[in-house]
Chains A and B, each alone.
Chain A
């Protein structure tokens, strides 16, 4: 798919969104007063005189109001008054639904009366305390404070202005759109991962959302992105985005997902940069606990690959262990030939392959010293349609040792060994270098001459995790011993990472971590920051 194709897809998404969105996005209620909003319960509390206007012309005011955005239920408390046209009712409390017809009126003197949204004469009714529940909330946990809110049921609420309160003050913005549509497709994204990504909703409906993303990306740094999502419940979504770093090249992205019945899903995604585009389509099927998958990827420049796989369900072994087998079949193709090192590369424009992958894992078992351990093993071989096969073996061991109630020690060993084998032509594909490999800081790597296609990756990690109440502190030390690996070539040999998660304010959490790579590639240490704000 070309860049123009991606742009067209994004435009189509926008056009498609606008049509149904126009009807769905009609606000049903506006609320004015001193508003506090709680994102966990979707409760909206209005004090100091609440004024509510509904789309059907109903007007209401009271000393306070409670709006439950999950159930669209409105409770007006204290000198409540509701009017529609010339009709009006008053009471000590009035309960009604935004999209319903029932109106309950509580009067301390005469009891409970019931009427409809036409506000005709009330009839006596039994007292239902649930109808008039007004929660007692702690404002310290409020997510947003505002003066005006516009509500689209089951979709979003726009606050203008919005202030995100902390114990030392509020962070104000002129307008903020909070989306609470339940479709899980709103979690989809066609944006690549970033160190920091804060979306800012521009407009939305129960089935769509347009959002601006403030991002910090590894490499380019600060970036702005625009993403459009179209969602159909939990079963389908489409997302298209444009990511524009302030210093760097923009990236276009597209992803779509569709669940077909309970056993099939289909997915398509694409991304484009100035270097070219990558498009992928996949199809997944479930046969009981077993399953299959088809994947096709195409890159600009004439490259493509296809893979079909079948896997067994997890089968039991003695001791609670399980095994799983997967078979793969597919091809890799490149216009002009995949094996550029060969003089007859054009004869290898398409290379077929098939493979088997066996995984075995154990449950968490108790081991001496009060620790627990879990292990896994994975081995695979892939055969190609010319004399070539690739073997891989991976193993991991995780040991957990509680040191105190909130202090845990984790030890991990992870190893993977691979062999890229070209019978009788190994020297052609992995020739011994005539000159030593030069690492990024200029140091020659003579040991690389021993590399002939067999790789080793071994990592030992130790992590201390301290989790006092509401806070998490982590310190991780990782040592790697790989081949090939040398001074900036491959993974750093030593890395220390520290992380902390805490809540400086009741309604805001901070997650920050920093890593140091020691004496690697000519750099004394290399800091990497990760930062996130959570509600």
Chain B
């Protein structure tokens, strides 16, 4: 009797011992699939399931269980082992070999990340425009040759392309700034000028760009950066134009209005001076 009882206890103990691995196995949850991405503390599978990663998950080889040189990346196959207590992935077993799924989604659904961690872009999901007032900052980077005293403006289509529609304030050696408040949904096109349509922005290729499209989003504040690579009338080291106050040169010997200020040459050139052209006004092209 005693022997039979002891045998039963041993058998039960044996069954329990044999069953222990299964019980132990039951303390973690596994999910196997192909990796889509691992980023921002989450592991994503191509099935669309995402699980939160523990702070320092173990990365191991799927077949040997030993540490591996493989790093989680798209297209690898992986088995994620989750801790039911924290609901986080504590181990990722990686392999390049295709693996069949070994657990149904229903059994791990309680562990999956079911909410997006970021807000979807309004451009994608669409957003109603309420017309709220939005502070909009235009920041224009100008060519380094732009002089300090230069005024820079924004010309807009809604102003009838007035070249001085919005005046900008200089920030530093190469940047100007203007802040305006627009209702969300406001849409217009604009061009950067120096106050005249004879001096407008040029693109990096030296060609006048198409007007910049602008749209006021449904946000609290918005910044619009623009780079001007050159001005359409920018010709450095151009010979000084003939104008009052200009320096006399052989090409422009009398830059003063009224004439007579430029002294006659001391020495008469060989052959004498040419006959002056009558009626030619100073500072203007000869007739």
Which chain A residues have a beta carbon within 8 Å of chain B's beta carbons? 39-42, 70, 129-130, 133, 135-136, 178-182, 184, 186-189, 193, 199, 201, 234, 259, 262-265, 273, 275-276, 278, 284, 286-291, 293, 299-303, 311, 313-314, 332, 334, 336-345, 357, 359, 361-364, 372-376, 378-380, 390, 392, 394, 396, 398-400, 408, 410, 412, 414, 416, 420, 427-440, 448, 453, 455, 461, 463, 465, 467, 472, 476, 478, 484, 489-491, 497, 501, 511, 532, 534-535
Contact B164 A534 (CB under 8 A): yes
Out of A193, A375, A394, which one reaches B196, CB within 8 Å? A193
Instruction: Tell me the bound Cα distance from A339 to B252 in angstroms.
Output: 10
B163 interface contact, C-beta 8 A: yes
B120 interface contact, C-beta 8 A: no
Contact B205 A300 (CB under 8 A): no
Out of A262, A357, A372, A476, which one reaches B237, CB within 8 Å? A357
Contact B236 A275 (CB under 8 A): no
Q: Which of B146-205 contact A (CB under 8 A)?
A: 147-149, 155, 157-167, 169-175, 182-183, 185-189, 191, 193, 195-198, 200, 204-205
Assuming the A-B contacts A343-B272, A359-B236, A398-B148, are A42 and B285 also in contact, with contact meaning beta carbons closer than 8 angstroms in the complex?
no
A344 CB contacts on chain B under 8 angstroms? 271
Q: Given contact pairs A400-B170, A478-B149, A534-B166, enumerate 14 new A-B contacts (beta carbons under 8 Å).
A: A40-B182, A135-B131, A180-B160, A289-B205, A291-B207, A337-B274, A359-B145, A361-B143, A379-B237, A394-B237, A400-B171, A420-B250, A433-B263, A461-B149
Assuming the A-B contacts A42-B158, A374-B174, A435-B263, are A340 and B207 also in contact, with contact meaning beta carbons closer than 8 angstroms in the complex?
no
Instruction: Tell me the bound Cα distance from A343 to B268 in angstroms.
Output: 10
Closest residue of B by beta carbon distance from A138: B133
Contact A130 B208 (CB under 8 A): no
Give the contact-size bracket for chain B: 35 or more
Closest residue of B by beta carbon distance from A357: B237
Contact A434 B266 (CB under 8 A): yes
Contact A378 B285 (CB under 8 A): no
Minimum distance in angstroms from A363 CB to a CB of chain B: 8
B236 CB contacts on chain A under 8 angstroms? 357, 359, 378, 380, 394
Assuming the A-B contacts A490-B247, A532-B164, are A380 and B237 also in contact, with contact meaning beta carbons closer than 8 angstroms in the complex?
yes
Closest residue of A by beta carbon distance from B216: A41
B57 interface contact, C-beta 8 A: no
Minimum distance in angstroms from B180 CB to a CB of chain A: 8
Contact B167 A372 (CB under 8 A): no
Instruction: Tell me the bound Cα distance from A399 to B172 in angstroms.
Output: 7
Contact A313 B204 (CB under 8 A): yes
Out of A313, A373, A437, which one reaches B173, CB within 8 Å? A373
Instruction: Tell me the bound Cα distance from A453 to B191 in angstroms.
Output: 41
Minimum distance in angstroms from A425 CB to a CB of chain B: 10
Out of B129, B173, B183, which one reaches A399, CB within 8 Å? B173
Q: Which of B224-271 contact A (CB under 8 A)?
A: 229, 236-237, 239, 245, 247, 249-251, 253, 261-267, 269-271
Minimum distance in angstroms from B226 CB to a CB of chain A: 15
A341 CB contacts on chain B under 8 angstroms? 250, 253, 265, 269, 273
Instruction: Tell me the bound Cα distance from A286 to B204 in angstroms.
Output: 9
Instruction: Tell me the bound Cα distance from A129 to B131 in angstroms.
Output: 14
Minimum distance in angstroms from A128 CB to a CB of chain B: 10
Assuming the A-B contacts A41-B186, A344-B271, A534-B162, are A181 and B157 also in contact, with contact meaning beta carbons closer than 8 angstroms in the complex?
yes
Contact A286 B169 (CB under 8 A): no
B221 CB contacts on chain A under 8 angstroms? none
5 contacts between A and B (CB under 8 A): A41-B186, A201-B160, A361-B144, A420-B249, A435-B264
A434 CB contacts on chain B under 8 angstroms? 263-264, 266
Closest residue of B by beta carbon distance from A177: B160
8 tightest Cβ-Cβ pairs between the two chains A and B:
A374-B173, A343-B271, A187-B161, A433-B263, A286-B205, A291-B206, A361-B144, A398-B173
Closest residue of A by beta carbon distance from B213: A182
Contact A303 B266 (CB under 8 A): no
Contact A511 B183 (CB under 8 A): no
Minimum distance in angstroms from B264 CB to a CB of chain A: 7
B25 interface contact, C-beta 8 A: no
Instruction: Tell me the bound Cα distance from A182 to B266 in angstroms.
Output: 61
Out of A275, A484, A534, which one reaches B285, CB within 8 Å? A275
Contact B206 A334 (CB under 8 A): no
B286 interface contact, C-beta 8 A: yes
Contact B128 A299 (CB under 8 A): no
Minimum distance in angstroms from B141 CB to a CB of chain A: 9
Instruction: Tell me the bound Cα distance from A288 to B148 in angstroms.
Output: 30
Contact B274 A345 (CB under 8 A): yes
Q: Which of B83-117 contact A (CB under 8 A)?
A: none
Contact A431 B287 (CB under 8 A): no
Minimum distance in angstroms from B255 CB to a CB of chain A: 10
B285 CB contacts on chain A under 8 angstroms? 275-276, 278, 299-301, 303
B211 interface contact, C-beta 8 A: yes
Instruction: Tell me the bound Cα distance from A376 to B144 in angstroms.
Output: 6
B155 CB contacts on chain A under 8 angstroms? 187
Assuming the A-B contacts A184-B157, A265-B208, are A40 and B186 also in contact, with contact meaning beta carbons closer than 8 angstroms in the complex?
yes
A420 CB contacts on chain B under 8 angstroms? 249-250
Instruction: Tell me the bound Cα distance from A363 to B211 in angstroms.
Output: 26
Instruction: Tell me the bound Cα distance from A326 to B160 in angstroms.
Output: 36
Closest residue of B by beta carbon distance from A379: B237
